[in-house]
Amino acid sequence: MAEIDKDDLISIIEESYDVEDVPEILPLMPVRDVVIFTDMLLPLFISRERSIQAVDKSLSTDRYLMVATQKDPSDEDPGPEGIYTVGTACRVLRMLKLPDGRMKTLVQGICKVRIIEYISDDNALMVRIERMQEEEIGQELSMETEALMRTVRDQSERIMAFRGEFSGDVGSILESIEEPGRLADIVTSNLRLKLSEAQELLEIEDPLARLRRVSDFLIREAELSAMQAKIQSEVREEISKTQRDYFLREQVRLIHRELGEADERTQEVGEYNKRIKKAKMPKPAQEEARKQLRRMEQMHPDSSETAVVRTYLDWLLDMPWSKSTKDVLDIKKAKKLLDQEHFGLERVKERILDYLSVRKLNPAMKGPILCFLGPPGVGKTSLGRAIAAAMDRKFYRLSLGGIRDEAEIRGHRRTYIGAMPGRILQGLKQCESKNPVFMMDEIDKVGSDYRGDPSSALLEALDPEQNFEFSDHYLNLAFDLSSVMFILTANMTDTIPSALLDRMEIIEIPGYTPEEKLEIAKRYLLPRQIRENGLKEDALILGDAVLKLIIEEYTAEAGVRNLEREIGTICRKAARKTAEGHKGKIRVDRANLSKFLGVAKFQPEMDKDENQVGLATGLAWTSVGGEVLYIEASLLPGKGELIMTGQIGEIMQESARAALTYVKANLGRMGKETSYLDDLDIHIHVPAGAIPKDGPSAGVAMITALASAITEKPVNQDIAMTGEVTLRGRVLPIGGLKEKALGALRGGVTTIFIPEKNRKDLAEIPSALKRRIQFIPVKDVDEVLEKAISEDILSAAPPAPKAVKSTKKKASS
């Protein structure tokens, strides 16, 4: 509301108007967002056409008009239902027309009126009114009324004091008003009430009731004003405290400067400057560090932003931009160290020694990306440690298993709370070297979700053509990873993205043969477990025969992890006997082994005492090594349907259907009619039904099992076979030959049929394994059937396929 001159207000209060002069029919002017009370002066800016016409009508007669508040302030042309019926009869004191067509008026409230009816008029909106008579109050005011008026005056003065608007003149004006109704109207006109609340007060006719309602609003307003004043005071105090702290720190800094001493802030900045010089960073990183340091100098030392900048500078300066270890490239020493730490694994050791030799001749060579692929427990991680020791480099291991957030690799943006660099830069900082051996374990176990794909974030880090300027989200600067020797480990390649797999050099580490396991147990596992369990070196006697028995009957794995657990169990029980007072050496032999380890855990799945009809032995590759896969086939009355059970995958099911097709095509050679299987159902089952199985290499075994069931001739159970078979009986090559051979050896198999095209892979089979297993390369399935089944079941060569007459019409030219 616009300010009103004090003299005008006093004259309004002192002047009495004759309300009888107000005519019964008045032009109506609706107003928004304001309620006009009696004796209230209010300037109004008028822009609506009907309101301008109402003012013109008023000026052309007796200068009276009715002002009523509209219910919806956004309504541009309110009708009778959109205007409150109670308003104020006002007198237009001044009027000024503005150049833009609007009108500025000064109106004065005369009395409260109520609209009785609306009268149509071509120009202004006319209404018939009645004056609202307030109840008469005698000359002598009661004690309650006096107390209520004094309370309202005090509350008004308190509120104005909170706002800084109170003065002696205002107090005089309030004291000069002796009528309760006028006091209520004057106070209400200066309160910041909602439109509905002000209209409610306007419509109350009883002066005392209106004054009591005003008192309620004053109490609420006083509480709000006190709360507002408290908040403002606290803000001012906080600001003044911050300014005071700043001035005091500046004074302390000046005092230290005068004394020739450095304060904490100056010392911190100076220390950072020294570290920046000492770090020997690339030019972009150095410029960024100095930029952030200048920012920190201008900030308050206790602000959160200062802490963020300080943390960033610490990370930036702790990174090994120019720190590296000197490689020790003594090839003979490295070979000796690798042989001491690991038994076997000749191919892997050769590749590592090749790398060290090239590195010795060409120090500027970029670090390769090696991936050790093999089953668990074969020593992939320990090989990485051995490589670091052979080169005298720092070693860092990062387990990628279960990581799903891309920020784990590339870091978080600095805008996030608690942001940090990725695990790669964290490892380099921990190593304090830019050329460590960086091992990433379980690369095939990396997952992805809504937070990104970590394996995709590894593409840049693991590419020698790109990683010389690896960018981490936190540092946001290029860091050279080309000197890092990355070594990854995996159990399988199926789950590794092809783009990432293409950047690696895969080095397969197959499982160990029983002879290799025996040597590993004697050289490494047994001495380590004796030492870790607090036994003396000669306190436990565990012979080769017992170790072989543990390997064959208590473990069934490609690696040696479970073997070490079993040896550890024996050592713990020996330690307990020693602690209970046993004197002398503890000997473990075949007779008492079960007392230490219990009954044998692994026995052959199938009874191999005699050859059986419809049972063939296949071989399977898994991520934990090779295994024997038994395949059963049985014929039963039916309609020629094929039944497959044992949780067989789609590819294996297709192999079974292909095997059945081959058998049906060769029924004549097996001495059966071509319609022999029309009234029989064929059931193929792969035991261990709870384990999922898939792959095409069981085709040979399926054909052998079916041929045995049809001819009722048993299959030699000392023979295992592997290979994919075509419809014409050709045996196609397979993968994982060494793992499958080791699985066959654990299953007690002595002869293996392999595809002819896998003959070249025999060069990688250890000689000890070749001595225990006979490998027979075959080109087609006939060679397998002739030797695997005890009798010759094929009477003649396979018939040539008959030409099928086409039923399509020849297209005309």
Our answer to whether residue 740 is catalytic in this structure is yes
Distance of CA 381 to the CA centre of its chain: 27
Helix (H, G, I), strand (E, B) or coil at 289: helix
Q: Which two tokens stand for residue 161?
A: 């004091």
Based on C-alpha coordinates, what's the Rg of the chain? 49
Q: What are phi and psi of 487, to 5 degrees?
A: -130, 125
User: Is 755 annotated as belonging to a binding site?
Assistant: no
Q: How far apart are the C-alpha atoms of 799 and 307, rounded to whole Å? A: 85
> CA nearest 698: which of 781, 756, 782, 758?
781
Which of 51, 189, 483, 697 is labelled catalytic? Answer: 697
Q: How far apart are the C-alpha atoms of 459 and 463, rounded to whole Å? A: 6
User: Is 743 annotated as belonging to a binding site?
Assistant: no
User: Is 374 annotated as belonging to a binding site?
Assistant: yes
282: Cβ contacts below 8 Å, ≥ 6 apart: 321, 477, 478
Our answer to whether residue 697 is catalytic in this structure is yes
Q: How far apart are the C-alpha atoms of 70 and 201, rounded to whole Å? A: 16
Whether residue 177 contacts residue 168, with contact meaning beta carbons closer than 8 Å, is answered with: no
Type and span of the H or E element at 220: helix 207-258
User: Is 87 annotated as belonging to a binding site?
Assistant: no
Which of 394, 434, 693, 740 is labelled catalytic? Answer: 740
> CA nearest 751: which of 793, 715, 701, 788?
788
CA 774 vs CA 196, 405, 610, 751: distances in Å: 102, 49, 20, 5
> Mind spelling out the 3-state secondary structure of 556-599?
CCCCCHHHHHHHHHHHHHHHHHHHCCCCCCEEECCCCHHHHHCC
Q: How far apart are the C-alpha atoms of 440 and 710, rounded to whole Å? A: 52
Sequence letter at residue 596:
F
Sign of torsion over alpha carbons 597, 599, 604, 610: positive
Q: How far apart are the C-alpha atoms of 148 and 138, rounded to whole Å? A: 16
Sign of torsion over alpha carbons 130, 135, 136, 137: negative
Q: How far apart are the C-alpha atoms of 472 and 735, rounded to whole Å? A: 39
User: Is 113 annotated as belonging to a binding site?
Assistant: no
Task: Give the DSSP letter string of 100-128.
Answer: TS-EEEEEEEEEEEEEEEEE--SSS-EEE
Q: How far apart are the C-alpha atoms of 318 and 309, rounded to whole Å? A: 14
User: Is 270 annotated as belonging to a binding site?
Assistant: no
Strand bridging mode 437-441 / 642-645: unpaired
Q: Which residues are catalytic?
A: 697, 740
**Binding site feature residues for ATP:** 374-381
**Binding site feature residues:** 374-381
